[in-house]
């Protein structure tokens, strides 16, 4: 059995000898694809040359339609006889559609940002009750020692094809435990503990290549990249991370959580953003079109505005704001 690349090479040579005046490409990236312009030979002529050269065999489909496969029967031939002018026009049309999509996406992003600013001004800011020391050398030294300890404890696991696990338990104080119970990060049956989970660089070969050659923060030789503190005995959702530390270049650490506590987090944030984007698309269509068939857009815009206002009103409920304040406190 020949390699698919060898079959493509033989097919290319046979077609070049049979049609010296035509530029015919044969690629084997995904199946066997034969492409040439419509001023060259017909598809049937190309098929006859491939069969005669022993580069293909005829197979019958379920509906008795004949098609070509390589001699081993593993790959199918695909024939693309195209017109240069039409192909260029199609490419220009695709590029124009892409530009229109990017412009529309930019308008949607601006609409979401404007709506967020208006919402923030209505809800007001929620101040974080405490600030972590971000420049204290003693803190950097403590987390560097903790990183070395985590890497030393998982030396045997680091050579495996999966991420190592290092998550020692830590007792929650009374105030923090009560806050986590109220926020439902833990329940009444759980122990009042949290897990300080270390995050490790992937040990897989593909991950190592991206980290060492593509990443803007490769951190060569460092396996443990940081820590996340979750309430409870298991990892919680991302929005429930109580604390995290991330290793940076220059033997430094940055601390979080990274999301902005000054912005109110809504349980329906994603739904709210989807509605704002759809409303902006409808408004853009209404600005561009004046035909009678687009009159249905105005009722749709009104309905989207009603749904957005309903979520905004729900977010103003004091219970939600108190919950967010407690989350910031935790």
**Residue at a domain's end among 205, 235, 256:** 256
DSSP single-letter state for residue 32: E
197 and 238, same structural domain? yes
Q: How many domains does the chain have?
A: 3
Name the pLDDT band for 329 (thresholds 50, 70, 90): confident
**Residue at a domain's end among 47, 82, 117:** 82
Mean pLDDT of 271-284: 93
Bridge partners, residue 196, by sequence? 229
141 and 212, same structural domain? yes
Mean pLDDT of 193-202: 87
Question: Which segment, 32-46, 58-72, 139-153, is predicted with the most confidence on average?
Answer: 32-46
pTM for the structure as a whole: 0.52
169 and 198, same structural domain? yes
182 and 100, same structural domain? no
265 and 207, same structural domain? no
Average pLDDT for the chain: 83
More confident call, 118 vs 277? 277
CA max distance for the chain: 85
230 and 150, same structural domain? yes
Name the pLDDT band for 131 (thresholds 50, 70, 90): very low
Q: What tens digit of pLDDT does each residue of 166-184 get?
A: 899 999 999 999 999 988 8
281 and 243, same structural domain? no
d(CA 11, CA 27): 10
Domain that holds residue 97: 88-128+261-330
The SS3 assignment for 19 reads coil
Name the pLDDT band for 261 (thresholds 50, 70, 90): very low
pLDDT higher than threshold 70 for residue 65: yes
Mean pLDDT of 65-70: 90
Question: Token pair of 266, please?
Answer: 């809504």
220 and 327, same structural domain? no
Cis omega (within 30 of 0) on the bond before 257? yes
Percent of the residues in the chain that have a pLDDT greater than 90, as a whole number: 43
pLDDT higher than threshold 80 for residue 208: no
235 and 327, same structural domain? no
Bridge partners, residue 58, by sequence? 68
CA end-to-end span of the chain: 65
Name the pLDDT band for 51 (thresholds 50, 70, 90): very high
Q: What tens digit of pLDDT does each residue of 278-309 get?
A: 999 999 888 876 656 567 888 999 999 999 99
The SS3 assignment for 215 reads coil
CA distance to 153, 219, 303, per residue, from 197 (Å): 13, 19, 45
12: left (phi over 0), alpha (psi -120 to 50) or beta: alpha
Q: What per-residue confidence (pLDDT) applies to 160?
A: 53
């Amino acid at each position: 059995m020949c390699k698919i690349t060898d079959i493509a090479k033989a097919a290319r040579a046979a077609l070049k000898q049979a049609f010296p005046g035509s530029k015919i490409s044969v690629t084997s990236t995904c199946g066997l694809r034969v492409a040439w312009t419509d001023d060259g030979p017909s598809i049937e002529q190309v098929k006859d040359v491939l069969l005669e050269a022993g580069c293909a065999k005829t197979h019958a489909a379920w509906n008795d339609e004949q098609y070509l496969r390589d001699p081993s029967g593993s790959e199918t031939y695909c024939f693309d006889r195209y017109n240069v002018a039409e192909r260029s026009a199609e490419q220009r049309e695709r590029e124009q559609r892409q530009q229109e999509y990017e412009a529309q996406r930019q308008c949607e992003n601006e609409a979401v940002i404007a709506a967020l600013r208006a919402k923030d001004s209505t809800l007001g800011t929620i101040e974080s009750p405490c600030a972590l020391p971000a420049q204290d050398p003693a803190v950097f030294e403590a987390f560097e020692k903790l990183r070395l300890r985590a890497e030393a404890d998982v030396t045997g696991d680091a050579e495996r094809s999966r991420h190592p696990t290092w998550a020692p338990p830590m007792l929650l104080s009374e105030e923090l435990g009560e806050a986590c119970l109220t926020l439902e990060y833990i329940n009444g049956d759980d122990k009042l503990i949290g897990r300080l989970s270390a995050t490790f660089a992937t040990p897989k070969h593909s991950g190592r290549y991206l980290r060492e050659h593509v990443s803007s923060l490769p951190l060569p030789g460092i396996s443990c990249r940081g820590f996340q503190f979750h309430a409870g005995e298991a990892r919680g959702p991302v929005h429930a991370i109580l604390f995290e530390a991330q290793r940076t270049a220059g033997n430094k650490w940055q601390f979080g959580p990274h999301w902005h506590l000054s912005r109110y987090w809504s349980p329906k944030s994603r739904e709210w953003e989807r509605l704002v984007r759809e409303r902006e698309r409808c408004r853009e269509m209404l600005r561009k079109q004046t035909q009678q068939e687009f009159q249905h857009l105005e009722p749709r815009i009104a309905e989207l505005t009603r749904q957005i206002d309903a979520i905004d009103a729900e977010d103003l409920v004091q219970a939600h704001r108190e919950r967010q304040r407690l989350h910031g406190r935790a």
